[in-house]
Amino acid sequence: MYLEHFGLREPPFSLTPDTAYFFEYGHYREALNTLLVALRSGEGFIKVTGEVGTGKTLLCRKLLALLDEEFYTAYIPNPFLTPSALNLAVAEELGLELPRNAGQHRIVKELNVRLVGLAAEGRRVVLCIDEAQAMPAETLEILRLLTNLETEKRKLLHVVLFGQPELDAKLARPAARQLRQRITFSYRLEPIDLEGMAAYVAHRLLVAGSQGRVRFTRGALRRLHRASRGIPRLVNILAHKSLMACYGRGGHTIEAAHVRLAAADTEDVQPPTHLPWVATGLVTGALLVLALGYWRGLFTGVLE
């Protein structure tokens, strides 16, 4: 694509949650430090919420990557499970091999034995659950019961819930009050401000191998922040399309006009102002330019 043109080693604004691109700025640094302190102090339930696209999954993966051998980690990315399926999923994450038709009594018993064994080795077990707002109410209750497994000295299982604001609404229900009272630490991820977003863009370009051949003007950054509302996922989408639009015109400096074109071609963004009617679809047109260039180069190579 545009990598060689801009002197980049890899796409800087991929939507894949790559921990190499984790941006330790402001509340992201605070959230990570909160999680680390809470887990080392032996807390049972921790909750992190944030709107769609604010970086919860990347924060989760960064946390898992940072926890040392003192911790035994388990990760459930899709918790839309029945209570029995959740128990079985946790057992599998802890290395237990149980038949699918194993009864719940046996699963819980095996889990307890495994957790006691890990505690005897001096290891803390951390279960991270992404997209926790998708958990059915009865599954949340089973999760609470799992955290009842403990010794006289400490909890055997620590749970970190990552979810959208709907998780708060689900926990606010009277039926969830016992679990809600066990949440000792919570953090809310907010969109990043203009200054932070500018540093975020520069950080991702640097990690991707930028040698200064690509630059966003101040106007482009302001337009990018307004269109994305400071939501990292939208920043990535718009920045990627802005680079494509700039490349399609043979430039190296991303202007506000490139971001306006990107915004006109993207869902769920703050609509651009004063955009000519012909702009819609021009970023898609830039993609066609890229494809044409690729196939032209490929065809030329075959002829040679």
Find the helix packing angle between 256-264 and 282-303, rounded to 10°: 100
Q: What token pair was written down for 64?
A: 């898992």
185 and 202 part of one domain: no
For residues 261 and 283, the answer to whether their CB atoms sit within 8 Å is yes
Residue 8, in any domain of the structure: no
pLDDT for 288: 52
Co-location of 214 and 283 in the same domain: yes
pLDDT of residue 34 exceeding 80, the answer is yes
C-beta neighbour count of 213 within 10 angstroms: 12
In a shared domain, residues 125 and 166: yes
| Domain, as residue range, for 270 | 192-303
Number of domains in the chain: 2
pLDDT digits (tens, 9 = 90+) for 35-59: 999 998 877 799 999 999 999 999 9
Rounded Cα–Cα distance for residues 162 and 5 (Å): 38
Contact yes or no for 221/201 (Cβ under 8 A): yes
Q: Which pLDDT tens digit goes with each residue over 189-208?
A: 999 999 999 999 999 999 99
- Which of 129, 161, 189 terminates a domain? The answer is 189
pLDDT tens for each residue of 257-269: 999 999 998 998 9
Residue identified by tokens 């990760």 is: 75
- Rounded to an integer, the average pLDDT of 75-93 is 95
- Degrees to nearest 5, angle at CA 109 with 106 and 113: 135
Residues 31 and 143 in one domain: yes
CA–CA gap between residue 20 and residue 93 (Å, rounded): 24
Percent of the chain with pLDDT over 90: 74
Q: How far apart are the first and last CA of the chain?
A: 22
Residue type, 131: E
* Spatial separation of the C-alpha atoms in residues 60 and 76, rounded to whole Å: 11
Q: Diameter of the chain by CA atoms?
A: 76
SS3 state of residue 267: coil
CATH assignment of the domain containing 83: 3.40.50.300
d(CA 155, CA 150): 4
Helices (H) and strands (E) in the chain, counts: 13, 7
Query: pLDDT value at position 212?
Result: 82
Mean pLDDT lowest among 72-86, 109-123, 137-151, 264-278: 264-278
Phi, psi of 184 (to 5 degrees): -90, -25
Find how far residue 105's CA is from the centre of its chain: 35
Q: Contact at 8 Å (CB) between 48 and 39?
A: no
Please name the residue that has the structure tokens 């000792």: 184
Using the 3D structure, point to which of 162, 189, 216 is the last residue of a domain. Answer: 189
> Residue 1: its pLDDT value, please?
74
Q: Are residues 142 and 129 in the same domain?
A: yes
Fill in the amino acid letter for 58: L
The Cβ of residue 81 has, within 10 Å, a number of other Cβ atoms equal to 20
The pLDDT tens digits for 203-231 are: 999 999 998 889 999 999 999 999 999 99
Of how many residues is the chain composed? Answer: 304
Q: What CA–CA distance (Å, rounded) separates 299 from 297?
A: 5
Same domain flag for 35 and 156: yes
239-244: long-range pairs with CB below 8 Å, 24+ = 239/12, 239/13, 239/201, 239/204, 240/11, 240/12, 240/13, 240/14, 241/265, 241/266, 241/283, 241/286, 242/216, 243/2, 243/6, 243/13, 243/214, 244/1, 244/2, 244/283, 244/286, 244/287, 244/290
Q: How far apart are CA 52 and CA 74, in angstroms?
A: 23
Is 184 found in the same domain as 156? yes
